[in-house]
Amino acid sequence: MLMDFEKHRADRKILSVAFKPEPMRHYADSLNEGIKSRIGKWSGKTFKFYPAIKELTLDLAATSFLGIPWGPEADKVNKAFVDMVQASIGVVRVPLPFTAMGRGAKGRAFLVDYFGKMVPERREGSGEDMFSQICRTRDDDGNYMSVEAIVDHMNFLMMAAHDTITSSITTLVWELARHPEWQDRLREEMLAVAPAGEGVGHNSLGQLEMTEWAFKEALRLVPPVPSFPRRALKDFDYGGYRIPAGASVGVSPAFTHMMEEHWPEPEKFDPMRFSPEVARERHKYAWVPFGGGAHMCLGLHFAYMQAKIFFHHVVTTHRIVVAPGYEPEWQVLPIPRPKDGLTVTFEPL
Ligand code: HEM
């Protein structure tokens, strides 16, 4: 995300290989398997949803992204990775012992060593996971990406994917718990696509239209990346202001998604806003949870896929319930989440 122009274009092209239909089919299979087994453990329980989905998303990334099975090895990678992300917002910015930055630097050293050693064998192998795909891809001159670049991209992919999916799925779980009528509507759509508890394969994802609208509405209400920085390349005028080349410019989905001129009753959960008839008239950049332009999120289809598979497993077999009058408080930064973890019950149908 911090690269620009030619280098960015070349690396983005290599990374895109991991999001083509064939690998996506493979990830869908492993997501279905992992989600099904975990939801069995949540069935009939009252639990904190946010930490549970965070753990599941990390575990799913271990298989789809890295091609390593769940277990102690994946746990170690996940811990190193979580420490590294925490360090990015640590107050102390030098890697002293017992600080978030210290743990983060240790985590990063572990991951660099861990991924780095695996690159040669992944190049020779036929793994379908993201890491293997990126290791095997060559640029326009026939060269592999360097080990250092692969390590950095894998770290970024894990970071880009896991907190964002965790946050957006949590938002939709909360909205569905508050709007049981939407659980019924989605369940009907889902059961027409695949039997209860079976999940959906990659080829059927397009049929879950309303589920996609509901997920988009969750991303509108609580965009996982509430704002992101840009820099003006040349002078331009915007909203009556002159912006000089080189100026920092903040783009804020959280603000844009609440603009009444684009979103009537912006606080209301209404997935029908995304039905083609309503969406057709809307400004192209009124909905920007995945950014836009040259850096637009590469993993948005992966995010839709994980969300659709997850909700198919949950909603076709359970009712998502919260206690009457329950109103969790949300923390917005660095990534939106319910402060108390969001207490929900998954009642078997
Ligand atoms: C709901 C989930 C997600 C949200 C809301 C989200 C949001 C974003 C945003 C706002 C950006 C910056 C876009 C810009 O600067 O215009 C971004 C970039 C990116 N995202 Fe996502 N993301 C999500 C999931 C994922 C997943 C699952 C992956 C990978 C599997 C991923 C990979 C990336 C990558 C590689 C970039 C950098 C693209 C570039 O700079 O060319 N994201 N994402």
Give per-residue pLDDT as tens, 209-235.
Answer: 999 999 999 999 999 999 999 999 999
pLDDT of residue 133: 94
* 95 prior amide bond cis, ω within 30: no
- How far, in Å, from the CA of 184 to the mean position of ligand 1? 31
Chain segment 76-118, per-residue pLDDT in tens: 988 998 898 888 888 899 999 999 999 999 999 998 899 899 9
pLDDT of residue 78: 86
Four-way CATH pick for 5-225+257-348: 1.10.1330.10, 1.10.630.10, 2.60.40.420, 1.10.10.60:
1.10.630.10
pLDDT of residue 71: 87
Candidates 66, 171, 290: which one to mutate for ligand 1, based on the most atoms within 8 Å of Cβ? 290
* Residue nearest atom 37 of ligand 1, based on CA coordinates: 1
> Which residue in 57, 72, 71 sits closest to 27, CA to CA?
57
- For residue 227, give both structure tokens: 């704002």
> Looking at ligand 1, which atom is closest to the CA of residue 12?
41
DSSP 250: E
- How far, in Å, from the CA of 187 to the mean position of ligand 1? 28
User: Cβ distance 289 to 307 under 8 Å?
Assistant: no
Distance in angstroms (rounded) separating the CA atoms of residues 260 and 264:
5
> pTM value?
0.95
* Residue nearest atom 24 of ligand 1, based on CA coordinates: 161
Label the pairing between strands 318-321 and 330-331.
unpaired
Report residues whose beta carbon is within 6 angstroms of any ligand 1 atom: 1, 12, 15, 157, 160-161, 164-165, 168, 224-225, 228, 289-293, 295-299, 302-303
- H-type helices in the chain, by residue range? 5-16, 21-42, 49-61, 72-87, 100-124, 130-136, 147-178, 180-193, 209-221, 253-256, 276-279, 300-315
What is the residue extent of each domain of the chain?
5-225+257-348, 226-252
> Looking at ligand 1, which atom is closest to the CA of residue 1?
40
> Which residue in 313, 300, 303, 304 sits closest to 34, CA to CA?
313
Distance in angstroms (rounded) separating the CA atoms of residues 181 and 204:
24
> Which residue in 146, 152, 155, 135 sits closest to 17, CA to CA?
135
Which portions of the chain are predicted below pLDDT 50?
none
User: Residue 158 belongs to what H/E stretch?
Assistant: helix 147-178
Backbone angles phi, psi at 235, to 5 degrees: -60, 140
* Residue nearest atom 6 of ligand 1, based on CA coordinates: 290
* Residue nearest atom 29 of ligand 1, based on CA coordinates: 299
Backbone angles phi, psi at 263, to 5 degrees: -130, 90
Distance in angstroms (rounded) separating the CA atoms of residues 172 and 296:
22
pLDDT of residue 15: 94
- How far, in Å, from the CA of 80 to the mean position of ligand 1? 21
